[in-house]
Amino acid sequence: AQKITQTQPGMFVQEKEAVTLDCTYDTSDPSYGLFWYKQPSSGEMIFLIYQGSYDQQNATEGRYSLNFQKARKSANLVISASQLGDSAMYFCAMREHFSGAGSYQLTFGKGTKLSVIP
């Protein structure tokens, strides 16, 4: 079974509108971290936002917020007031806190390509 699932291969959003990118995850570890990265066409992975499994509040970072629903195992990224520069691939990733080998490994989803329309 996939540990990180991003069901939207591509999304379109009108400039200045908000958009939600979906991410569901699967883990039996009670302590884990969830990340969102942006990858523009240049290829570099840019860290956007982090949510810890024990965090009580949803993470926010500027125009980015993470809609964390622990019981549903979902960690959707919300981008408010979309800009043309937001057009990119977006990846959800999870780090599980297992001890021993592999404890620092991130597992990535396959990504969602977001296109912002003027």
Instruction: State the residues that interact with another protein by CB under 8 A.
Output: 4, 33, 35, 37, 42-47, 50, 52, 91, 93, 95, 101-102, 104-106, 108-111
Q: Which is nearer to another protein, 43 or 118 (CB)?
A: 43
CB count within 10 Å of CB 114 equals: 21
CA dihedral 25, 65, 79, 76 (to 10 degrees): 20
Q: How far is the CB of 60 from another protein (least distance, A)?
A: 15
CB count within 10 Å of CB 117 equals: 11
Q: Which is nearer to another protein, 16 or 70 (CB)?
A: 70
Q: How far is the CB of 111 from another protein (least distance, A)?
A: 6
Q: Which is nearer to another protein, 19 or 34 (CB)?
A: 34
Query: What amino acid occupies position 14?
Result: Q
**How far is Cα 56 from Cα 82, in angstroms, rounded to an integer?**
27
Residues in the chain, how many? 118
Q: How far is the CB of 78 from another protein (least distance, A)?
A: 19
**How far is Cα 92 from Cα 108, in angstroms, rounded to an integer?**
6
Q: How far is the CB of 49 from another protein (least distance, A)?
A: 10
Q: Which is nearer to another protein, 82 or 95 (CB)?
A: 95
